[in-house]
Amino acid sequence: MAYSDPVEKSHLYSVFFAPRGYTRMASLGMQIAASYLSPFDKLIGVVGEGGSGKSMLIKGMFPGLELTNDDEGVNVRPLPILSVGESPSGFYSTHTYHLDIRFEAAFTQMHVLAAAILEAVEMGKRVIVEHFELVYPFLERNANLLIGIGEEVIITRPTLFGPEPQDIAEIVFRSIKFRRMTHTAEDLCEYYLKHTAKSKEPYIHSDVRHGFVLSFQNKPEVDLDDMEKAINDIIAEDITISYKDDQHILIGDREHACTGPRIHVSSTAEIRKFALNKEFMIEPGTGRYLMVGIVGNHAPMKIKDLNKIMLA
Confidence of residue 2 (pLDDT cuts 50, 70, 90): very low
Average pLDDT over residues 223-235: 96
Same domain, yes or no, for 130 and 186? no
* Percent of the chain topping pLDDT 70: 87
Are residue 158 and residue 186 in the same domain, yes or no?
no
**Residue 290: φ, ψ to 5°:** -110, 125
pLDDT of residue 312: 39
| 192 lies in the same domain as 264 | yes
pLDDT in the model for residue 131: 96
196's CB contacts (< 8 A; 6+ apart) are 230
CATH number at residue 28: 3.40.50
User: For residue 13, what pLDDT is reported?
Assistant: 87
Last residue of a domain, one of 129, 163, 197: 163
Band of residue 93 on the pLDDT scale cut at 50, 70, 90: low
Tell me the mean pLDDT in the region 63-83. 74
Confirm whether 159 is domain-assigned.
Answer: yes
158 and 183 belong to one structural domain:
no
Domain endpoint, select from 132, 163, 194: 163
Contact 141, 127 (CB under 8 A): no
If asked whether residues 88 and 214 sit together in one domain, one would say: no
pTM of the entire predicted model: 0.85
Residue 311 confidence (pLDDT) above 50 = no
The count of structural domains within the chain is 2
Any domain includes 36 = yes
- Single-letter amino acid code for the residue at 187: D
311 located within any domain: no
Q: Indicate if the pLDDT at residue 1 is higher than 50.
A: no
Q: What does the pLDDT read at residue 28?
A: 95
The residue out of 134, 163, 192 marking a domain boundary is 163
Do 121 and 152 lie in a common domain?
Answer: yes
The CATH number that applies at residue 219 is: 3.30.980.10
Mean pLDDT of 69-88: 69
Looking at the fold, whether 292 and 190 belong to one and the same domain comes out as yes
Share of the chain above pLDDT 90, in %: 70
Domain membership of residue 236 (yes or no) is yes
- Pairwise CA distance, residues 35 & 245, whole Å: 32
